[in-house]
Structure 1
């Protein structure tokens, strides 16, 4: 089996994912989509930057939009358990010859910026500026009513290498896809917070960001968002869904922001907190793997993603053929 044994006592403790930094071409246009349409709350604004959070989050931000010439996923952010874990993380990355430096990050405490072995830019922090709770301020709820950031999914040119590295950090695999013809790993879903995933990897030209996902209260909120997007000029931004994944059991919708960044709206997955939770295997050619109801994903879902800065994407280490919609 291509899934390594879980590391229950990793070299430093990651609590969960927390935030993403994306470059966008027009902050006003992005605000109209991310805040006024999706429903994230604006927590800070500058000439070149917009900060947002979801409804149950207490930290200052889960999304940072920065003005840039080209769409890029600038960094994927994670929270650690204690201040000391930042020093342990720096030692871990540097011992493997990987870049790791402390940087200034607004609204965050000491922040470690680094890269994984395939070139995905990461940062780890312990303390972030706290904001008053707005979870029960229902007058603020708009769009799809996003409650929290849920996960990242990245294209990886070597899914096995990605899984091996994040497994060493204590990320545990919940589900995975294996290519029956080659016996190799095609995709994997890995978690820290006790859901199906904080980080997932999909076979493809990479590394690139495939999508960032937000947890929403119910499938009906996704239907409401579809009605809103279809009548406010965003119908072309609806890429895939709604549907229910075989993997994770989640009810989902994929949309694209004005710069092409892919966003998943997501609910109804399951608890994975037990340390002896056994991963579920799927075959790449199983039509219910992508969507429990059998509908395949469009070609764009397998081919298009957001590049990371200073990390040229590479062709995958082996060829595989998923089921693609005609």
Structure 2
């Protein structure tokens, strides 16, 4: 199935990804991981939830950790241009026969929850409380010095269908992996904000959240985090990397939080703001697509992901498998 032509005039205007909520079983352990080790900043906390932001962010939160009996991913949040576009978004999802539930969210204006056709829980809003800037408060920089949330990657049982739906929302494909035998998509990277991706889709049992990524200043920050994790009891939470992806050109590290939610630490991708930018194609059998250099990805990286709360997982319709880098 060919990559759809960019939809430059979608029915409503999504600015960027915004935040994610993760269900965690032990708030204290999660706080030690995300705050004391990674260096995210606490903007509010209670016995039930912790709200976090990264150093360059002015919005109240990019990550919500909520105490839960089960570790699961909840809503993936997106910011739209204004209240008029929020109403247009609600109208769009209703027109598709998808749920639209207006909900109260702390620190956000009017917000609705919905799901994409595969069941990924989504949340849309136009305004979030603003906080004073802290990007020059260098005494606060800790851990890997996370600057901002960068993207989500989700397992999809049908990547072609996921790309087609998000194309309707105005997400443009920057890079993709194609199975030559079938002509179908095995993975695709799509964006709104002008980077390589706001949300990507990888073939697999899904929908499940593969990872949430945070942008950091330099590869040296990733090396510093590895030293820190190796000497503070987190060495077994290092899953993959460091290395460099072929796709996106990113310098990366994958780690797992205390509940197994996967986090990518990420830098060095490129700008994609031109509306006529042609997507880059990768063959599924090219081992450098996932690892330009570095150790091969472990089996867990291909098979494990966070369940979305209340969503049924389906087997993938494409059986093809990539070549793992030697």
- After TM superposition, the score normalised by the length of structure 1 is 0.99
**Correspondence for 1:71:** 71
SS in structure 1 at match of 2:225: helix
Using the size of structure 2 for normalisation, the TM-score is 0.99
Query: Which residue in the other structure is 1:124 paired with?
Result: 124
**Secondary structure in structure 2 of the residue aligned to 1:97:** coil
Aligned to 1:297: 297
- What is aligned with 1:62? 62
What's the CA shift string for 1:8-54, capped at 9, x where partnerless?
Answer: 01000000001000000010110000000000000000111000000
Structure 1 segments, 4+ long, off by >2 Å, are 323-326
Q: How does 1:1-326 map to 2 (within 5 A)?
A: 2-293=2-293, 295-324=295-324
Does structure 1 conserve the Cα–Cα contact (< 8 Å) formed by 2:240 and 2:297?
yes
Q: Please tell me whether the aligned partners of residues 299 and 324 of structure 1 are also in contact (alpha carbons under 8 angstroms).
A: no
Q: Is the 8 A contact 1:151 1:199 kept in 2?
A: yes
Q: Tell me the distance in 1 between the aligned counterparts of 2:264 and 2:11.
A: 31
Give the Cα separation in 2 of the matches to 1:88 and 1:33: 38
Structure 1 residue 297: Cα displacement: 1.3
Distance in 1 separating the partners of 2:144 and 2:50: 19
Query: Secondary structure of the equivalent of 2:253?
Result: strand
Post-superposition shift, 1:114? Answer: 0.5
Alignment check: 8 A CA contact 1:287 1:294 kept: no
Q: By how many angstroms is 1:2 displaced? A: 2.1
Shift of 1:180: 1.5
Please, which runs of 5 or more residues in structure 1 have no aligned partner?
Answer: none
Alpha-carbon deviation of 1:324?
3.6
Question: Across the two proteins, how many residue pairs are aligned to each other?
Answer: 326
Describe the SS at the equivalent of 1:42: strand
Note the aligned Cα RMSD (angstroms): 1.0
Matched position secondary structure for 2:315: coil
CA distance in 2, matches of 1:218, 1:162: 32
Task: Give the superposition deviation at 1:183.
Answer: 1.3
Q: Aligned partners of 1:149 and 1:3: how far apart in 2?
A: 26
Please say which of residues 201-210 and 296-305 is displaced more in the overlay: 296-305
SS of residue in 1 equivalent to 2:33: helix
Q: Is the 8 A contact 1:250 1:267 kept in 2?
A: yes
Structure 2 SS opposite 1:52: strand
Contact 1:288 1:294 in 2 (8 A): no
Structure 2 spans left out of the alignment, 5+ residues: none
